[in-house]
Amino acid sequence: MSRQGMSTVAWAWPDAASADRAGARREARDTPVILFGVQGDPDDGRAIRAFRSFCWGVDPGSVRLRMVHVLTVPMTLPLDAELPEADATAARILSRANLVVATVGISASTATVRAR
């Protein structure tokens, strides 16, 4: 099955032991992180809205949302190769995802990751 057109969601909840180390760690690190892989298709917005529906009754500030776009670099180029069009596309995708996030009342951070 093709991965094109599919948003990816990963959950990272703190384990029980992390609660014991709360004094040694910043509170933000003990906050669950929801990781969204965005590709710039309508499924991105649907996944973000579904997340918000899933969290109905939960304080949106009690989780951290991280939206990531994976920029695929051809094997013939180094990972740090200049790809201005791809970088601009990634920025547009993350910007659109941020707009959806803002409409559902969640704060988020974004990142572009390069991979093969």
pTM of the model: 0.68
Judged against a pLDDT cut of 60, whether residue 18 lies above it is answered with: no
Please report the pLDDT score of residue 74 as a whole number. 94
Closest alpha carbon to 52 in 7, 89, 112, 105: 105
* pLDDT, tens digit, 9 for 90 and up, residues 33-76: 788 899 998 888 888 888 877 776 777 667 778 999 999 999 99
Closest alpha carbon to 51 in 9, 79, 23: 9
Rounded Cα distance, 112 and 110, in Å: 7
Please report the pLDDT score of residue 95 as a whole number. 93
Rounded Cα distance, 25 and 20, in Å: 10
Mean residue pLDDT of the chain comes to 77
Judged against a pLDDT cut of 50, whether residue 13 lies above it is answered with: no
Q: Calculate the CA dihedral of residues 41, 12, 106, 54 and round it to 10 degrees.
A: 80
Closest alpha carbon to 65 in 6, 12, 5, 7: 12
